[in-house]
Each structure stands twice: as C-alpha cells, then as structure tokens.
Amino acid sequence: MGASNDTAGPRKPKTDPGQASGPTYSVDPTDVARFSALAETWWDPKGPFAPLHRFNPVRLGFIRREALARFGRDGSARRPFEGLRLLDIGCGGGLLSEPMARLGFDVTAVDASEKNIGTARIHAEAQGLTIDFRHGTAEGLMAAGEPPFDLILNMEVVEHVADPAAYLRDTAAMIAPGGMMIVATLNKTLKSLALGKVAAEYILRWMPPGTHDWNQFIKPDTLKDWLEAAPGVAVRGPFGVTYDPLSGRFSESDDVGINYMMIADRD
C-alpha cells in the first residue's frame, strides 16, 4: 500500500536559528516551540504531560520485554542491558531516558527543544544518572557520524515531524546490526480523532489544545511501508495500546484504533 493516500504529505521543511547544526527537515518549529513552553512541567504527574505519565508503565513494560527477547538478556538481572547503546529521540524531559539508564543502557537522548534538554539534564543529574543529552535532531547525529545504536526509541515523535517518510528511513539507518527500533504513534481513524484528539485535548484537557494534528496521524500500513523502505529492516506489529477509563490505566491490546507501536529489526 502506498503512503500518499493516508497522509497529507510532507510539510514544507522550515528552518529555526535555535536548532543545532545538521539536517533539520524533520523538525516542525511550531511543535518545538509548543513543547518548549511546557518544558518545566515534564515531571509533574498532574501537569500537561500527565497522559505520558499514565502511558509510561505500558511503554516501559513493552520496551523491556521486547529488548530482553531481542538481545537475549537475563530479565532477573538488575541492569540487564549493560553494554548496549540506546537512542531516545524526542526525549522531552527524559521520562523514558531515565528508566532506560537504570536498566543498564548507555543512553543518548536528543530533542529539538533546548529547554527540554535543560530540564531533562537537571532532573537526571539529581537522580545520579549519567545520560548523554543532546540538543538537536536524530538527523544531526547521523550527519555527525554517530555510531549506530542497539535500540532506538522513536516514541510519539513521527506524528510531529515535517517529513515522516524520510525521517523514518534515516532513523532506521541508525540501527546497529542485530538491533531494533520501536516506533509509537497514533492511528488515523475516526476513533483516534474523537478520543485521541478531541476528547484528550478539549474535553478531558489531558494536554493543551493543538498538541496534535489529526491530519498527521499515521495508519499502520503506511508506517509499515515507510519502515520497510529502509534497507535490511524487518517490521513487526502493530501492537495496540488502549485506555481503560475505569482503572485510569493504559494496557497492551489487539485494538490499534488509537495508539499503537511497531518494531523494526535489523539483521
């Protein structure tokens, strides 16, 4: 299936003098500015990023389980992923970077917002964690000759970039042999429009209005096509995630109507 029927197409790349050097065609300065304005609230579980705090347990469980299987590590070990390199793209305040570092990964975390990186760095240092936080883009790391990563986390980023097909192709190229990339995003369905956009932003007020553009949500077949366009990559999924309003928890599910994840494995 082609991608052109499922998305509005790449948005025109824009430049931002505050960005680090290197290719920035994935960056939408409007989104960078929006998240930068909220930078100090990343670690407030009742603040604008409360949905991510609710979402984090299911994301972390999925990442840990899939990484243990992929790399053949012992799940009973305190730091089972020692010696493996991880890239957290669009790391925000470090909500995923910190637990990944605690699990033993050598974590590099990149974000296009300098304010987000500042918040993430201060919080990690207060926790005694060593994480290599970078202000810039994944493409900038690649252009600078950064070595490949065993695990790349590409979580809730692709729906915010200007050219998602090119972005996924380039980030997949950064997966080390035997490594994997996990992509999480929102499906483009009427259900996701009603619940993932309208209800989440305007009724429940889980996030500021305008955080997401439903036109940029991506159908699983489209995401799969884009990932499979990267040489040497095999794709698994989609793996659905649903929200139970009674328990207030997210969980893994066969329902991919709103949130879902995919895995790109490199031989």
Q: Which domains are present in the chain? A: 29-187+217-266 (3.40.50.150)
Positive/negative CA dihedral, 64, 69, 72, 76: positive
* Residue 85 labelled as part of a binding site: no
| Alpha-carbon gap, residue 264 to 153, rounded angstroms | 11
Q: Are strands 85-89 and 149-155 parallel, antiparallel or unpaired?
A: parallel
- pTM (2 d.p.): 0.81
Residue 55 tokens, joined? 């979402």
pLDDT per residue over 108-145, tens digit each? 999 988 888 999 999 999 999 999 999 999 989 999 99
Rg of the chain (C-alpha set): 17
Reported as a single tens digit per residue, the pLDDT across 144-168 is 999 999 999 999 899 888 889 999 9
- Judge contact between 242 and 253, C-beta under 8 A: yes
Residue 155 is labelled as binding a ligand: yes
Q: Give pLDDT, residue 222.
A: 95
Residue 90 among known ligand-binding residues: yes
Question: Is 255 one of the annotated binding-site residues?
Answer: no
